[in-house]
Structure 1
Amino acid sequence: MKFRLSTVFLLALALLSAVVANAPSAAESHDRDARGPSGPSTIHASVVPASGLKIGEPTTFTLSLVGKNGKPVTLADLQVAHTEKVHLLVVDPSLTDYHHEHPKPGPAPGTYTFALTPQKAGEYKVFADLLPVATNRQEYAVTSFAVAGTPAPVEKVKNKKTTVAGYTFELKFEEEPPAAGHPHKARMTVTGPDGKPVTKLEPVMGAFAHLVGFSEDRTEIAHIHPLGQEPGTAAERGGPTLEFQTDFATGGYQKLFAQVQIDGRPLFAPFGIDVTPAKPDKTASAAEREQHSGHDEPAAIPATVTEILAAVDQRVAAIDQAIAGGKLARVHGEAFAARDLLAALPEKVAGLNEAEAKALDAAIGRIRQQAGLLDKFGDAGDAAQTRAVLARFKTEIASIRQQVEGKPDRHAH
């Protein structure tokens, strides 16, 4: 399926968790829903067009997936996620020509074919959204293809209300404008051409909605789905309100494509907003930690990467124990200690190329934000939110571990 946007608007979130109105809380979010390529994927992707690419002309592509071991990645190596094993999220530089494709196995192992019609010039980013059996976590294998011509810049049009095929979609945040590094609730309401609330949203790929968001520079992506009970049969219907738990990784202009299905027809509702940069949290210094608790001490930094990761595991285990024992006031100290340990990795690990170093820095930035949220919810005694943030904290740590394990220590002799 595809969607071409000409004069309407878009919005993307670094991380967005959606929930049908009156569904369970954000703590029950899908484990798969992630902020995007926080670290290198275990799978390498490449795409090759069958013929020369021209704007407006349908083209067949071959996608190749190869594991780190050099072996082709077949469907047997992937798990099903929302009825498909491979989701391709494709977008042009202007973030207006978006495609959500599901390639079919090709003639050779590890190859897959799909077709789309590019409507813009420039380098299209292709995010292969995968759930490998080997890692059991959502990964994005990123590749690209280029269409000749001068790419159009991102159109920074902001809107929270748009009409598609006569249906009006309106998005409202509990806090305006939303800020990065802080969870916000948002609601999207769907109204029909007759002005009445729409209650006939159909299941599409096992959910009442799919939200795919891109940051302006296309380095952050989210592919997320409604929380709570998913539709069990094709006859179930949702709407008119979808509730979202949003958590923006970075400030700046964001774009999102919200996909729903009505009367068998897929619709893509585009929005556009600015996100306020994250405010400084309590993660900067030992002095700030002391002011906060009166006795927290900076974490001692081990000499090697292996020792740092082991120390982080101990801190995370302590957070688990604190939550299980109902001692949430202890969470912030362990979270800040884990944060400080991870923040030391760039000075300890060698052998990172420029892209890997940038990815590591970005992941540590997210760790800082999540540590601040663990502090906030732990001190507030909110066990459900603390568990929800801890799940993301652990996922980010696993990504960092994958990036640095096997790399030499910078000062090893």
Structure 2
Amino acid sequence: MAAETGSRAGKPHPVAGDWQDRQDRQENPAPRRGAEAPPRGGDRRRREWRQVAWITAGAIALYFVARWLPTGTNLSHADFAAGSRPGEGGVSALDLCDPANPQFLPVMAVRSPVSTTLRSDGPAVAGKESRFVLSLTTASGKPIGPDDLFLVHTQKLHLMIVDPTLEDYRHLHPEPGEREGEWVFRMTPQRGGDYRLFADFMPVATGRGLYAMAEFAVAAGGSGDADGKGEAGGESASLFRSGRLAEKARGTGATVAVRDGYRFELSASAQPVRAGQQAELAFAVTREGGGTVPLEPVMDAYAHLVAFDEARSGFAHLHPQEADLSKKPDAEHPRLTFAVTIPQAGRYVVWAQLDLAGVETFVPFPLEVAP
């Protein structure tokens, strides 16, 4: 017993400091000769912070490089800023653009930040083709060319052109001219009178739709042509009185036009359509004898609607809510819906544009808007 006790006594009893040293050596063994010592806690944190700093600096550099890359346009958002005319309460053409709320645009009542000039190679005469050159410039005089505009519905510039009677309507897409800011188109007007042109486009600098207006005179071309003098609803033969508009269908509230073996119908979800309230219009096509309607896309949509008021003070360019071209409408009873808000009561003409087996078709409908 004494020997055992002596043996234990021969081994020094570990103290707290020795035990801590052994723990440290086990957790942090001494590096082998030639091996790199592991970083201490402070060094590791500094290295991590340096990595974060480099990553952040790289991200900031990439951001500014992307901002400085050329976009193809030399115009900025400021080039499309324009104040309103006196008494208009600060409304400008740029303020009208709300894709979530399609509406009738009173282009004549606001100041557009885009200036237009229009010239033709010679006097325009009804029944004869004329070549026109439309020039678009910013308020400061900078030309607006193809690089300055986004592609919208397959085109960079849409022109809605209508005569005083609202009977001769065209939707054209001009080509860039020889000079920057010039756009060229050809047209054979059908009637005499002062035609009005509404331009619809989206600058790269703003990313929002803008509108501009121009006018040109057309001389009467023959006995079959109306003189077209004055505004629609005045002395000229208005489309409302011509008998060529679609007619109301009994008991349905819809307007119907029948031509070339097709039945075209335009109706509103609520009657009457009221000024200042969003309305839903439905456009439908069927074959008179039944069968498949060969409806094809036109400008990335299965139909377009464009509305004018009698005074041609503006327009509404509408696209169907069924925007997915991969989902084709019903083959025999295609039906498309359009949302629109019209601010003023009155009489309007809605032109439907569609493609039937490769044939571009235009059909006018009357639309009464109640107060």
Q: How does 1:195-234 map to 2 (within 5 A)?
A: 195-196=290-291, 198=293, 200-232=294-326
Give the C-alpha shift of residue 209 in structure 1: 1.0
Among 198, 207, 218, the alignment partner of 1:127 is 198
Give the 3 Å change call, closer, same or farther, for CA 241–257 of structure 1 in structure 2: same
Output one character per residue of 1:233-289: Cα deviation in whole Å (capped at 9) or x when no partner.
xxx633411123232221111101111111111111211132112xxxxxxxxxxxx
Give the C-alpha shift of residue 100 in structure 1: 0.7
1:42 aligns with 113
Residue type of the alignment partner of 2:343? A
Rounded Cα–Cα distance in structure 1 between residues aligned with 2:104 and 2:209: 10
Residue type of the alignment partner of 1:230? D
Give the C-alpha shift of residue 111 in structure 1: 0.6
Rounded Cα–Cα distance in structure 2 between residues aligned with 1:166 and 1:226: 24
1:184 aligns with 279
Question: Structure 2: which 5+ runs fail to align?
Answer: 1-97, 221-226, 229-235, 248-254
- Does the CA-based 8 Å contact 2:113-2:139 persist in structure 1? yes
1:237 aligns with 328
Percent identity, aligned pairs only, is 36
Among 355, 360, 371, the alignment partner of 1:266 is 360
Q: What's the TM-score, normalizing by structure 2? A: 0.62
1:154 aligns with 238
Rounded Cα–Cα distance in structure 1 between residues aligned with 2:258 and 2:160: 23
1:139 aligns with 210
- Does the CA-based 8 Å contact 2:268-2:279 persist in structure 1? yes
Output one character per residue of 1:85-143: Cα deviation in whole Å (capped at 9) or x when no partner.
00011000000000111101111111111100011111100111111122221111100
Rounded Cα–Cα distance in structure 2 between residues aligned with 1:60 and 1:144: 14
Give the 3 Å change call, closer, same or farther, for CA 242–125 of structure 1 in structure 2: same
Give the 3 Å change call, closer, same or farther, for CA 173–32 of structure 1 in structure 2: closer
Among 176, 189, 204, the alignment partner of 1:105 is 176
1:88 aligns with 159
What's the C-alpha RMSD, in Å, of the aligned pairs? 2.0
Rg comparison, structure with higher value: 2
Structure with the larger helix share: 1
Give the 3 Å change call, closer, same or farther, for CA 197–178 of structure 1 in structure 2: farther
Give the 3 Å change call, closer, same or farther, for CA 246–66 of structure 1 in structure 2: closer
Give the C-alpha shift of residue 155 in structure 1: 2.8
Give the C-alpha shift of residue 30 in structure 1: 4.5
Output one character per residue of 1:141-170: Cα deviation in whole Å (capped at 9) or x when no partner.
100101125312423256311123221111
Residue type of the alignment partner of 2:264? F
Structure with the larger strand share: 2
Give the C-alpha shift of residue 33 in structure 1: 4.2
- Does the CA-based 8 Å contact 1:252-1:275 persist in structure 2? yes
Which secondary structure state, in structure 2, belongs to the residue aligned with residue 156 of structure 1? helix
Give the C-alpha shift of residue 197 in structure 1: 6.3
Among 119, 131, 137, the alignment partner of 1:66 is 137
Q: How does 1:3-402 map to 2 (within 5 A)?
A: 30-31=99-100, 33-36=102-105, 37=107, 39-149=110-220, 150-151=227-228, 152-157=236-241, 159=247, 160-196=255-291, 198=293, 200-232=294-326, 237-239=328-330, 240-277=334-371
Which secondary structure state, in structure 1, belongs to the residue aligned with residue 147 of structure 2? helix
| Greater RCO (Cα-Cα under 8 Å, separation 6 or more) | 1
- Does the CA-based 8 Å contact 1:47-1:64 persist in structure 2? yes
Rounded Cα–Cα distance in structure 1 between residues aligned with 2:323 and 2:281: 19
Rounded Cα–Cα distance in structure 2 between residues aligned with 1:246 and 1:145: 29
Residue type of the alignment partner of 1:35? F
